[in-house]
Chain A
Amino acid sequence: EIVLTQSPTTMAASPGEKVTITCRASSSVSYMYWYQQKSGASPKPWIYETSKLASGVPDRFSGSGSGTSYSFTISSMETEDAATYYCHQWSSTPWTFGGGTKLELK
Chain B
Amino acid sequence: QVQLQQSGAELVKPGTSVKLSCKASGYTFTSNHMNWIKQTTGQGLEWIGIINPGSGGTSYNVKFKGKATLTVDKSSSTAFMQLSSLTPEDSAVYYCARSPDYFDYWGQGVMVTVSS
Contacts and interface: CB of A to CB of B under 8 A. Distances in A.
A46 B104 CA distance: 9
Contacts of B73: none
Contacts of B62: 94
A80 B57 CA distance: 40
A88 interface: yes
A61 interface: no
Interface of B: 44-47, 59, 61-63, 95, 101-104, 106-109
Given A94-B61, A94-B62, A45 B103 contact: yes
A90 B99 CA distance: 10
A33 interface: yes
Nearest to A90: B102
Given A42-B106, A88-B102, A93 B45 contact: no
B33 to A, nearest CB: 12
Nearest to B101: A90
A45 B106 CA distance: 9
A97 B109 contact: no
Contact of B106 (A44, A86, A95, A99): A44
A93 B95 contact: no
Contact of B102 (A33, A42, A94, A100): A33
